[in-house]
Amino acid sequence: MSVLQDIRNTDAEELKDFFDKIGEPSFRFLQLQEWIWERSAESFEEMTNLPLALRQKLSEHFEFRKAEVHKEQHSSDGTVKNAVRLFDGLVVESVLIPTESRSTACVSSQVGCSLDCHFCATARLKRMRNLSPDEIYDQVVLIDRQSRLKFNRPLSNIVFMGMGEPLLNYSNVLKAIERITSEEHGLGMAAKRITLSTVGVSKMIRKLADDRVRFNLAISLHSAINERRSSIMSINDASPLEELMDSLQYWYLITRRRITFEYVVWKGFNDDEQSIKALVAYCKKVPSKVNLIEYNAIGDARFQQADVEVLELYRQELSHAGISSFIRHSRGRDIDAACGQLANKSTQ
Ligand code: SAH
């Protein structure tokens, strides 16, 4: 028996050839594209304006490898965590984060993660595989539906802050973003409403700039002192702070988009004056702002959220240097849906 091909992972050119070969006119191909991408169809049966014979032929060659919500968990603050089951049974997590005026989707780019950031729960899962463009796109579609249903409004923002390192699945993440932003065959969302968060893979940040992307970039920094950063994030050995900064300056030169640094302050790790000074000096080198993220405990006693007074010190010193900073309170912590807590706990 021949294996069916995933229709949404088939090139437009290949599909056009298929239509030619079976003698279907090109407008039928356009109808199919509309069903797949604008209407997020999940089967050929629902494509009621295509002739039955064509639908049958399509289903003999192709299938829909749709991702499905396998489990939904609701936080007392309105956050919804979805365990999304992929066609091969693997599971990733995607989160809907509502505020008064916005609905943000936090999506995953890989199953598990190959990096070893000591403070992150996803790092404890082995990296199983990259997500395909459609598996990323599906998470967005699912959460968009959820937002319309629960809050009566479409998604307003997307952050690539779920499981995995998006820059280690570069081409699939970019293809998914193309779909998400495409007016013609996609969701038509503005690129400026999308933020990609990375540990900071310098080579790939340069590539993003060269590819002239129009979304925002966030860097998980956590320390602007090489030795300390390396002690909790091994990526810093491969891509140390100086090299990271070179790539960020290059990014800014080309995209003119300000960078966001994500930064958690831990007791006894970076709650000292030297760390604050190093961060201020680092931020001054490139147009940037800082999000001071609340730490979400993952059961490792080495990491403890610093006192709020220290956060205020950070804010003051950054502000004196003309750098904006924001304290980001955790969302969805009661259901392990907050930053760094995604570890497929509910499905294990
Ligand atoms: N791999 C990407 C995206 C996933 S992590 C990255 O590293 O940016 C998304 C954000 O959550 C990052 O800023 C990360 O540093 C932060 N994070 C990870 N674990 C955390 C935790 N336990 N508490 C708070 N933030 C955490």
Kindly give the distance from the C-alpha atom of residue 56 to the centroid of ligand 1, in angstroms, as a whole number.
Answer: 45
Please tell me the pTM assigned to this model.
Answer: 0.91
**Is residue 54 domain-shared with residue 81, that is, in the same domain?**
no
Q: Which regions of the chain does DSSP assign to beta strands (E)?
A: 5-6, 62-63, 68-74, 80-85, 91-98, 103-106, 110-111, 129-130, 157-160, 194-198, 216-220, 259-264, 288-293, 325-328
- Number of other CB atoms surrounding residue 187 within 10 Å: 19
Among 107, 215, 262, name the best residue to mutate to test ligand 1's pocket (greatest count of ligand atoms within 8 A of Cβ): 262
Q: pLDDT band at residue 1, thresholds of 50, 70 and 90?
A: very low
**Is residue 117 domain-shared with residue 168, that is, in the same domain?**
yes
- Number of other CB atoms surrounding residue 227 within 10 Å: 9
Q: Which of 41-50, 51-60, 92-101, 293-302 has the lowest mean pLDDT?
A: 293-302
**Is residue 143 domain-shared with residue 274, that is, in the same domain?**
yes
**Is residue 58 domain-shared with residue 199, that is, in the same domain?**
no
Structure tokens belonging to residue 61: 């060659």
Domain containing residue 58: CATH number:
1.10.150.530
CA distance 97 to 344: 18
CA distance 103 to 149: 12
Among 114, 122, 161, 261, name the best residue to mutate to test ligand 1's pocket (greatest count of ligand atoms within 8 A of Cβ): 161
**Nearest Cα to Cα of residue 305 among 313, 314, 295:** 295
Residue nearest to atom 11 of ligand 1 (CA): 339
Q: Based on the structure, what is the number of domains in the chain?
A: 2
**Is residue 76 domain-shared with residue 32, that is, in the same domain?**
no
Q: pLDDT band at residue 187, thresholds of 50, 70 and 90?
A: confident
CA distance 149 to 135: 21
CA distance 298 to 336: 9
Q: 199 in ligand 1 pocket by Cβ < 6 Å?
A: yes
Kindly give the distance from the C-alpha atom of residue 180 to the centroid of ligand 1, in angstroms, as a whole number.
Answer: 23
Q: pLDDT band at residue 3, thresholds of 50, 70 and 90?
A: confident
CA distance 71 to 68: 9
Question: Can you give the residue range of the structural domain that contains 323?
Answer: 68-347
For residue 266, what is the DSSP state? B
| CB neighbour class for 169 (10 Å; exposed up to 12, middle 13-18, buried from 19) | buried
**Is residue 229 domain-shared with residue 326, that is, in the same domain?**
yes
**Is residue 117 domain-shared with residue 11, that is, in the same domain?**
no
286 torsion bin: left (phi>0), alpha (psi -120 to 50), beta (else)? beta
Of 24, 48, 63, which marks where a domain is finished? 63
**Is residue 141 domain-shared with residue 48, that is, in the same domain?**
no
**Is residue 36 domain-shared with residue 78, that is, in the same domain?**
no
Q: 220 in ligand 1 pocket by Cβ < 6 Å?
A: yes
**Is residue 49 domain-shared with residue 104, that is, in the same domain?**
no
Residue-wise pLDDT tens digits, 318-328:
999 999 999 99
CA distance 284 to 129: 37
CA distance 105 to 141: 10
Of 29, 45, 63, which marks where a domain is finished? 63
Of 47, 63, 79, which marks where a domain is finished? 63
| 283 tagged catalytic | no
Structure tokens belonging to residue 334: 């009661």
Where b means 16+ CB within 10 Å and e means fewer, 306-329 reads beeebbebbbebbeeeebebeeee
For residues 147-165, give the mean pLDDT: 96
CA distance 151 to 255: 34
Residue-wise pLDDT tens digits, 40-80:
888 999 999 999 999 999 999 999 988 889 999 999 999 99
**Is residue 109 domain-shared with residue 49, that is, in the same domain?**
no
